Amino acid sequence: MSVLPLRPKSSALLGSLIREVSKDSMEQKGLIPLWFGEGHRSAPEAVVAEAHKAIDQGYQFYSASSGRAELREAIAAYVSKLRGIHVSPERICVTTSGNSAIQMTMQLIVDPGDNVVFAVPLWPNAVDMVDHLNGEVRRVPLKLGERGWSLDLDRLFAACDNRTKAIFLNSPGNPTGWMATPDELKAVLEFCRKRGIWAISDDVYERIVYDGDRAPSFLDFAGPEDAVVSINSFSKGWCMTGWRLGWIVAPAAVTDTLAKIIEFNTSGATSFVQRAGVVALQQEAFVRQIRGEYAQARDIAFQRLSAMGRVRLTRPEAAFYAFFAVDGMTDSVEYCKRIVREANVGLAPGRAFGPEGEGFIRLCFATSPDRLSEAFDRLEPMLR
Ligand SMILES: Cc1ncc(COP(=O)(O)O)c(C=O)c1O
């Protein structure tokens, strides 16, 4: 069947290489899937109960594009308390996921020919969106040393020119588990101020840290009028990946425009899910509990992988991924396909995170200790 031409940028989309590995084997019997970025737990019980109640109570209609007032207030109060700053509800837009928050932020600021500078390897969706908007993607590799990944500020700044609209940092980072230091964030913010560049911070893993209660963010150092956008989501900290709920913190001067962009993208997040989001923000004990579980899983993952002869890795500082290099592996996509076939464990190929990720594999360790140990028993014959 012939179809009319699409936008060339749409026809050229490659799609996720994790999907490419998983597409034929997701239903495979006995599979241990550690390829996607989500934990094995479902949302806190109180959140589920609130969603049921909200449907029964009739929260089934459109909300304001930028979100229900009570959720914007709850998010503003949550961010203010978490960071010890004051964020007003006018600076918050509720979104249908962190993913859509990123897409709409890019729609807000990127014109064809503009460029956005990313520290990579990186979860691909933000990068691909800039390309899809006919913007230019500039990739600055994180450095890998004995003690882990780090940001090369000189290279980051050298990648910027007068068509640079934003520097985008995802810290804690997917897939590397890297975390920017407060000094690095301050330096980037200062540079952005001087050069008139947006500082975008993807903070979706901010609560998955193993030392302290939250990761640093641009928000810690920015004033309310600074050109800073913080992207966030209920997916990771509250185990709500399928609920599709996130938020943006931006200067109050742009949230009206963002609301217009939300209007034609999604017309606002699902009303009863927003009610549940208010309850999620009260579940501090849950956030701490899952973080404790992930800390234990990180130890298991690090210990088991370090003992495998072909594997090289550093201990992830944050988030819930082990991102490890495999000696002798030249094609991570083909190798991950082989791992699914031979070990029945689903892993994400490093190339899914850009060319800098080739040679690596990402394993999401947000699962039970038993399942994780079983996965490593199966992987050992291939990686020892
Ligand atoms: C770095 C990063 N940002 C944003 C997201 C988006 O999360 P969601 O769309 O589920 O809110 C993800 C999901 O994996 C991620 O890894």
Say whether both 168 and 93 belong to one domain. yes
Is residue 80 within 8 A of residue 206, CB to CB? The reply is no
**Residue 202 Cα: closest atom of ligand 1:** 3
Q: For the chain, what is the radius of gyration of the CA atoms? A: 21
- What pLDDT is attached to residue 208? 97
How many CB atoms within 10 Å of residue 64?
17
Q: Is the pLDDT of residue 191 over 70?
A: yes
Range of the domain at 159: 45-282
Looking at residue 227, what DSSP letter applies?
Answer: S
Ligand 1 binding pocket includes 123 (Cβ within 6 Å): yes
Q: Which of 118, 110, 68, 108 is nearest to 279 (CA)?
A: 68
- Residue 103 forms part of a structural domain: yes
Domain count, the chain: 2
In the sheet where 360-364 sits, what is the strand order?
A: 311-312, 321-326, 360-364, 348-349
**How would residue 14 be classed by pLDDT, with cut points 50, 70 and 90?**
confident
Ligand 1 binding pocket includes 203 (Cβ within 6 Å): no
- Residue 79 forms part of a structural domain: yes
What pTM, to 2 d.p., does this model score? 0.96
Residue ending a domain, among 256, 282, 308, is 282
**Residue 36 Cα: closest atom of ligand 1:** 14
Read off the pLDDT of residues 336-345 as tens digits, 9 standing for 90 and up.
Answer: 999 999 999 9
**How would residue 27 be classed by pLDDT, with cut points 50, 70 and 90?**
confident
The domain that holds 21 is classified in CATH as 3.90.1150.10
The rounded Å distance from CA 44 to ligand 1 centre is 19
Read off the pLDDT of residues 317-330 as tens digits, 9 standing for 90 and up.
Answer: 999 999 999 999 99
Say whether both 194 and 56 belong to one domain. yes
Read off the pLDDT of residues 167-188 as tens digits, 9 standing for 90 and up.
Answer: 999 999 999 999 999 999 999 9
The rounded Å distance from CA 57 to ligand 1 centre is 30
- Residue 6 forms part of a structural domain: no
Ligand 1 binding pocket includes 184 (Cβ within 6 Å): no
Distance CA 88, CA 75 (A): 9
Say whether both 230 and 373 belong to one domain. no
- Residue 245 forms part of a structural domain: yes
Region 55-70 average pLDDT: 97
Distance CA 130, CA 158 (A): 19
Residue nearest to atom 11 of ligand 1 (CA): 98
- Residue 3 forms part of a structural domain: no
Say whether both 240 and 312 belong to one domain. no
Residue nearest to atom 7 of ligand 1 (CA): 98
Residue 108: both structure tokens together: 């807000």
